[in-house]
Structure 1
Amino acid sequence: MKLLFLLIGVAFAAAVNIEQSTFPQIKWIDPNRYYEGRGNSVHLGRVEDSGERPALDGEVAYQVGIFADRGVFCGGALISERAVLTAAHCIDGRHIWEIYLGTNDLSLATENSMRVLVSMHAVLHEDYDVLTNANAVGLIILPDAVTFADKVSPVLLPKVTQQDKWENKDIEPIVSGWGITSRSELANPTVLNVTKALLVSNSACEEIYGSDAIFSSTICLGIQTPNPGPCPGDAGGPIVIDDNGEKVLIGIVSWGPRQECRSTMPQIATSTTSYLKWIADHGGPNVRP
């Protein structure tokens, strides 16, 4: 699996029926970069069995698909009745977003559980830097409150007290998305996939990408090869852990090495714990104590 403009549009939306014959064609939004000449022999660790596979019905009911204007596709996470969290570059320079909820297969336009909302209201982090990818978060505000069901339900954001809980912990978060699984793949994705990752220290990522690309708000992911990690089409998608039976969103997919989706180099995500207050202040759920 696998520009700086604040969009606060006037809220306008409606549920729309998307016929299969008009299924959008995708232009990948790909902020991935070349990092030639960097040392890449750092031991990142490996997930013993990443278990990459199609998602089960309702397994990642918080996952949404986002079609933005100009043919761009991203993932996102439903975090409340009215808010979707995604990556900044999925919002920057765009004005309208179709939000797909309640389905694992985007080609099944007649599926009863799928709902499509159209929004023209999004908030880009005011300090987002398109060159460094700092503060790469944004919110899409839905026009109507979503009715939760088995296949549509929000994911929790971390509590304030959990901000440092996962650092240097041996956990394997779940990453999900409709992104391509190889850069040679040409067909539009339709089936939602899930895979396991491994948290990698930011210091290890700095040895590979340099300190100018890694921030305190960065999460680094190691992926078991030959299974793919996040790739074009997965940007903005959720990175979730199971915390005593609760699904908690610890990050959103941001970027990775351009060389190949199956690269042994780490993938980069943005930590949600760094933006809890920002999210709450701009239309997301209240911060949990």
Structure 2
Amino acid sequence: MILCLLLVTFVTAVSAKSLPSEINPPTFEYLNSICGQENSNNDINQFPWAVSILKKDNAGNLQFSCGGSLISTRTVVTSAHCFNDYSEPGVIRPENFLASLGGHNTSTSWIDAVNKNIEKIIIRPGYNPETLGFDSDLALVQLKQPIIFTESIKPICIGQEVIDDDATGKIPGWNGRRRQMETTTPTLINARVVSATTCLRSHNFFSEIMSNQTICVELLDRNTECMINSGNGLMIKKENKWMLKGVVAGTVSDPKSECGGNKYFVSLEISKFYDWIRSNMLL
């Protein structure tokens, strides 16, 4: 049985417009007042907290590595396994990655994209890259310089509320996991939280990769299992604000799928990590 880490590794051409980056650190109250609000121009970057984590290859080119979600001017939430380097186990090099925010179209060099260097990558204690499971598979990416919020770059909300089975939401993401399925603009996928039993019934190997810190999510749109990437956020709308409720981790390989994907996948439940996120995030 093949365990799917939902990564892609194709080269992405990226350029960035320069924007001011020196601002006073905001407060939690300020972040709560502006978070989770969609871009008023729905045709461009509707969900402005969607982040692309890019990795530099040996030639200096940038490759899409994982998705992520912006939660403050300097913090992005994503998956820990996005930073695994099996040639140097346990070594994480922030200088080898960039966070790209506000991008819209890869065919035009990511219009309005702002690329930020990464100062530090904090891996959730308890995560073990040598095990199969996704327990504690969470990371906080701290940016070297703060982001100026605009209509195209805004944070998503986080909260302590436990997510309910049957809750429906959306997953914004950038790219497919097969070259013929690449997209130049963001993909938006409908999803639903289902019981852990549902995942286990679909394949018994889910018992090896799930824990009490994960949730089982079902993709509701046909043929979208190949459009999901690690680190993408599961977001649910509450009182006209979008809340980050999960972070995509991985799934069990389905040989019937073109990309080996599965309509069921494992996500980290954000509410289980709320205190850790709050205590480690930079505002």
What is the match of residue 267 of structure 2?
269
The 3-state SS of whatever aligns with 1:281 is helix
What is the match of residue 187 of structure 2?
193
After TM superposition, the structure 1 stretch with the greater mean CA deviation from structure 2, 117-126 or 138-147, is 117-126
Once the two structures are TM-superposed, the CA of residue 279 in structure 1 deviates from its matched residue by 1.1
Counterpart-to-counterpart distance in 2, 1:178 and 1:107? 12
Matched, 1:84 2:80: no
What is the match of residue 67 of structure 1?
54
CA offset digits 1:244-267 (Å, max 9, x no partner): 101100001111232325866411
Matched, 1:205 2:206: no
Matches within 5 A, 1:7-156: 18-19=14-15, 56-70=43-57, 71=63, 73-93=65-85, 94-95=92-93, 96-109=96-109, 111=111, 113-130=112-129, 131=131, 132-156=133-157
Counterpart-to-counterpart distance in 2, 1:271 and 1:284? 21
CA offset digits 1:13-59 (Å, max 9, x no partner): xxxx9459xxxxxxxxxxxxxxxxxxxxxxxxxxxxxxxxxx83231
Structure having the higher helix fraction is 2
The 3-state SS of whatever aligns with 1:197 is strand
CA offset digits 1:109-155 (Å, max 9, x no partner): 373x3211121411111211222221100011011111111110000
Counterpart-to-counterpart distance in 2, 1:272 and 1:88? 14
CA offset digits 1:220-270 (Å, max 9, x no partner): 1112353313646x1101110100101100001111232325866411111
After TM superposition, the structure 1 stretch with the greater mean CA deviation from structure 2, 116-125 or 89-98, is 89-98
**Same amino acid, percent of matched pairs:** 19
Once the two structures are TM-superposed, the CA of residue 72 in structure 1 deviates from its matched residue by 5.3
Give 5+ residue unaligned stretches, structure 2.
Answer: 5-12, 17-41, 58-62, 86-91
Q: Return the letter of the residue paired with 1:123.
A: I
| Residues 230 and 253 in structure 1, CA contact (< 8 A), matched pair in contact too | no
What is the match of residue 9 of structure 1?
none
Cα 1:110–1:279 shift into 2, 3 Å: closer
Cα 1:187–1:227 shift into 2, 3 Å: closer
**Root-mean-square deviation over aligned CA pairs:** 2.6
The 3-state SS of whatever aligns with 1:256 is strand
The 3-state SS of whatever aligns with 2:153 is coil
Which structure's relative contact order is higher, taking Cα pairs within 8 Å and 6+ residues apart?
1
What is the match of residue 229 of structure 1?
225
The 3-state SS of whatever aligns with 1:147 is coil
Counterpart-to-counterpart distance in 1, 2:115 and 2:261? 34
CA offset digits 1:182-215 (Å, max 9, x no partner): 64x3475432110101111012223323423211
Q: Return the letter of the residue paired with 2:84.
A: D
Once the two structures are TM-superposed, the CA of residue 282 in structure 1 deviates from its matched residue by 1.8
Counterpart-to-counterpart distance in 1, 2:213 and 2:110? 40
Alignment partner of 2:247 out of 226, 244, 252 = 252
TM-score by length of 1: 0.70
What is the match of residue 164 of structure 2?
167
